[in-house]
């Protein structure tokens, strides 16, 4: 699917994987809507790439609808939606002190990561469905969601995060099947450990990231946000990839901790 001249929407677009995706899609010729709760970084990036910033909490129906509308209002057909917004959380199902996992934080992670992703899928796909087909396949758009290796092999303390990412993996096939009728594809990327501000900044964060890279088979380093963005672009552009979950992890298989 051609990205030049289309509108694209990236949630979590103000930082890390989302930011790299915004840059990649803009470089491909798309007009990008940066949807994020971080207005300072989001606005600056949108300005830099000639896109539009919309302050958006992905778990909020009206705010995501407003972001989708901003994409429609660019006057270009909305053809690409990428969900990168996400939050982490670390807590065991039952803690060392015997106390159960806090339910409010579990709900919050599900709300942002899983419901937020579905919220964007349903609203972006509805807008894509109203466009004219882009090519002879009858393709109207493509969606890429971001899961995690934790959605497949979650580590100790990742119960909330893993549940949310497992849900994103689980929605990939039924979403692709539902949206086949309107010519919209759905794929999911499952990253291993990619170098973004999610691990913090400064010398401590650098030392932590070095330890994280140790079990990666090859290349023996963290992945980059630019590598993630190139994969997302390929999934958007190559029309025959659909309903797939693609790992980007240097061959890493997560251990229990």
Q: Among all residues, which ones are annotated catalytic?
A: 161
Q: Given the complex with ligand NAD, which of 18 and 183 has the nearer CB atom?
A: 18
187 touching ligand NAD, by CB under 6 A = no
Q: Given the complex with ligand NAD, which of 15 and 131 has the nearer CB atom?
A: 15
Q: State both tokens at 250.
A: 């240097």
Judged by CB under 6 A, the residue of 87, 115, 129, 243 near ligand NAD is: 87
11 touching ligand NAD, by CB under 6 A = yes
What is the strand order of the sheet 7-11 is part of? 52-55, 31-36, 7-11, 78-83, 141-146, 184-191, 245-248
86 touching ligand NAD, by CB under 6 A = yes
Residue count at the site for ligand NAD (CB under 6 A)?
Answer: 28
**Quick one: which of 128, 148, 115, 126 has its CA closest to 8?**
128
Tell the smallest beta-carbon distance from residue 183 to ligand NAD (Å).
Answer: 26
Are 246 and 234 spatial neighbours (Cβ–Cβ below 8 Å)? no
- With vertex at residue 177, the alpha carbon angle to CA 174 and CA 180, rounded to the nearest 5 degrees, is 145
Q: Is 55 buried (19+), middle (13-18) or exposed (0-12) by CB count in 10 A?
A: middle
Q: How many CB atoms lie within 10 A of CB 134?
A: 20
Binding mask 128-147 for ligand NAD (x = CB under 6 A): ------------------x-
38 touching ligand NAD, by CB under 6 A = yes
> Which residues lie below 8 Å from residue 157, measured CB to CB, with a gap of 6+?
90, 91, 92, 257
Tell the smallest beta-carbon distance from residue 141 to ligand NAD (Å).
Answer: 20
194 touching ligand NAD, by CB under 6 A = yes
158 touching ligand NAD, by CB under 6 A = no
Rounded distance, CA 145 to CA 72, Å? Answer: 20
Tell the smallest beta-carbon distance from residue 243 to ligand NAD (Å).
Answer: 20
Judged by CB under 6 A, the residue of 196, 229, 252, 254 near ligand NAD is: 196
**Quick one: which of 196, 197, 83 has its CA closest to 143?**
83
Instruction: Point out which residues bind ligand NAD (CB under 6 A).
Output: 11-12, 14-18, 36-38, 56-59, 84-87, 112, 116, 146, 148, 191, 193-194, 196-198
């Amino acid at each position: 699917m051609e990205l030049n001249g289309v509108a694209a929407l990236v949630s979590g677009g103000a930082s890390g994987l989302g930011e790299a995706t915004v840059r990649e899609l803009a470089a491909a010729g798309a007009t990008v809507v940066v949807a994020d709760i971080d207005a300072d970084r989001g606005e600056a990036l949108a300005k830099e790439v000639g896109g539009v910033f919309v302050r958006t909490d992905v778990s909020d129906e009206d705010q995501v609808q407003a972001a989708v509308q901003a994409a429609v209002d660019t006057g270009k057909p909305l053809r690409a939606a990428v969900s990168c917004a996400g939050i982490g959380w670390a807590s065991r199902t039952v803690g060392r002190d015997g106390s159960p996992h806090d339910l409010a934080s579990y709900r919050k992670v599900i709300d942002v990561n899983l419901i937020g992703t579905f919220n964007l899928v349903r609203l972006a796909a509805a807008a894509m469905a109203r466009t004219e087909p882009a090519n002879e396949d009858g393709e109207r758009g493509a969606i890429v969601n971001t899961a995690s290796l934790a959605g497949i092999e979650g580590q100790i303390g990742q119960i909330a995060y893993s549940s949310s990412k497992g849900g994103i993996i689980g929605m990939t096939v039924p979403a692709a099947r539902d949206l086949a009728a309107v010519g919209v594809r759905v794929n999911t990327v499952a990253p291993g450990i990619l170098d973004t501000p999610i691990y913090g900044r400064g010398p401590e964060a650098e030392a932590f990231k070095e330890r994280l890279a140790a079990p990666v088979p090859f290349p023996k380093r963290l992945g980059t946000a630019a590598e993630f963005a190139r994969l997302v672009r390929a999934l958007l552009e190559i029309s025959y990839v659909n309903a797939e979950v693609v790992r980007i992890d240097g061959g890493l298989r997560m251990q229990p901790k």
